[in-house]
């Protein structure tokens, strides 16, 4: 089949790679391309944050964990597996996502910082998006995919050239589809110079101060963060930056100097549930893959493989798909 993907973030690119590997002809249309997508701002570490429902998210996250761990062994992907600790101010049961993570265990007293009574220790993929998205884009193009920077205001535009449209527009689906269940979850992070950290650290139980995470990467470190529902502002807030620095300092050795390189803001696509489904509209088909909350990277490969499965079912029904696309009939070339 010929497929047009709307969106060039981590979801669109992951789906594009898998669809091409399955033999489909694929092109991406997007208003913004890396490094200017929401995905570029992601921290990013594997962690199923604010994505629902848990049963489906667990399956997608578990599969993505496997794929990212495999990519960590390849050069130039920007992925590496890092040991981390989630610190707890009060005891809590094991998280629901524990089965996804081999080697998950409770923290020993020696691994806890002062003021914390419990914690989880696990190894997870940490993804440097400044490397990972270019890697995905290059892989997509090597497989024969093409990318077109253009703004799409209606699915009809894509249906004019392809029998199947894959919608990976994230928050853009609110306007594109009129999906009022989507809402922004505003997040601010600081990119800082490397810190003396051997592990990533999470502290999300301190409601009074706010969430804290410190994620060491190859050449820098990401400090976060915030999660403000309903805010569409992309303007960095200096007060939030100071608060993030103060929270991070509590988890670092006394006297550690933090050199801020960049203050960034992104809008996570919040939704009561991830929308991954095939929809028929007037005899035409759109495959939706959006609403991943704060877990777009964490669910990316699992969702992409389900997308391929659904596309394969559709492609297998000639009555639904219609005539096979012939590139010579349109005058378009496919590739880069």
Task: Give the tens place of pLDDT for each residue, 281-290.
Answer: 998 999 999 9
DSSP-derived 3-state class of residue 95: coil
DSSP-derived 3-state class of residue 82: strand
Q: What does the pLDDT look like over 189-244, one tens digit per residue?
A: 999 999 999 899 999 888 778 899 999 999 999 999 999 999 999 999 999 999 99
Question: Given phi > 0 = left and psi -120 to 50 = alpha, else beta, which region is 322?
Answer: left
pTM of the predicted structure, to 2 decimals: 0.92
Residues 6+ apart with CB under 8 A from 1: 24, 25, 162, 163, 164, 311, 314, 315, 321, 325
Domains of the chain: 2-329 (3.40.50.720)
Nearest-angstrom CA–CA distance, 67 and 299:
11
Determine the pLDDT at residue 316.
82
Residues 6+ apart with CB under 8 A from 336: 141, 145, 146, 147
Q: What does the pLDDT look like over 101-122, one tens digit per residue?
A: 999 999 999 999 999 999 999 9
Nearest-angstrom CA–CA distance, 81 and 83:
7
Nearest-angstrom CA–CA distance, 30 and 168:
10
- C-alpha angle 117-248-234 in degrees, rounded to nearest 5: 125
What's the mean pLDDT in 292-299? 97
């Amino acid at each position: 089949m010929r497929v047009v993907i709307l969106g060039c973030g981590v979801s669109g690119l992951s789906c594009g790679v898998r669809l091409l590997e399955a033999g489909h002809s694929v092109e991406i249309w997007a208003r913004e391309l890396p490094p200017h997508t929401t995905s570029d701002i992601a921290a990013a570490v594997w962690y199923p944050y604010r994505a629902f429902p848990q049963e489906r998210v667990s399956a997608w996250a578990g599969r993505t964990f496997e794929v990212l761990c495999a990519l960590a062994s390849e050069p130039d992907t920007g992925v590496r597996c890092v040991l981390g600790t989630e610190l707890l101010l009060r005891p809590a049961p094991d998280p629901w996502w524990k089965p996804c993570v081999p080697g998950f265990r409770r923290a020993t007293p020696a691994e806890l910082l002062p003021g914390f009574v419990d914690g989880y220790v696990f190894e997870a993929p940490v993804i440097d998006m400044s490397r990972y998205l270019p890697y995905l884009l290059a892989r997509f193009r090597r497989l024969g995919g093409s990318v077109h920077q253009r703004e799409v205001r209606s699915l009809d535009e894509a249906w004019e050239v392809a029998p199947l449209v894959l919608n990976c527009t994230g928050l853009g689906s609110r306007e594109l589809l009129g999906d009022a269940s989507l809402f922004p979850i505003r997040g601010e992070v600081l990119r800082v110079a490397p810190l003396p950290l051997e592990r990533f650290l999470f502290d999300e139980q301190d409601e009074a101060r706010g969430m804290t995470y410190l994620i060491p990467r190859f050449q820098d470190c990401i400090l976060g963060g915030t999660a403000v529902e309903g805010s569409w502002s992309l303007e960095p807030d200096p007060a939030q930056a100071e608060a993030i620095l103060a929270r991070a300092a509590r988890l670092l050795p006394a006297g550690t100097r933090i050199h801020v390189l960049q203050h960034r803001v992104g809008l996570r696509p919040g939704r009561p549930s991830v929308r991954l489904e095939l929809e028929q509209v007037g005899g035409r088909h759109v495959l939706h893959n959006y609403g991943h909350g704060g877990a777009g990277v964490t669910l990316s490969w699992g969702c992409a493989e389900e997308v391929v499965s659904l596309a394969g079912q559709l492609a297998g029904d000639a009555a639904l798909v219609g005539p096979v696309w012939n590139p010579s009939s349109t005058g378009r070339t496919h590739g880069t």
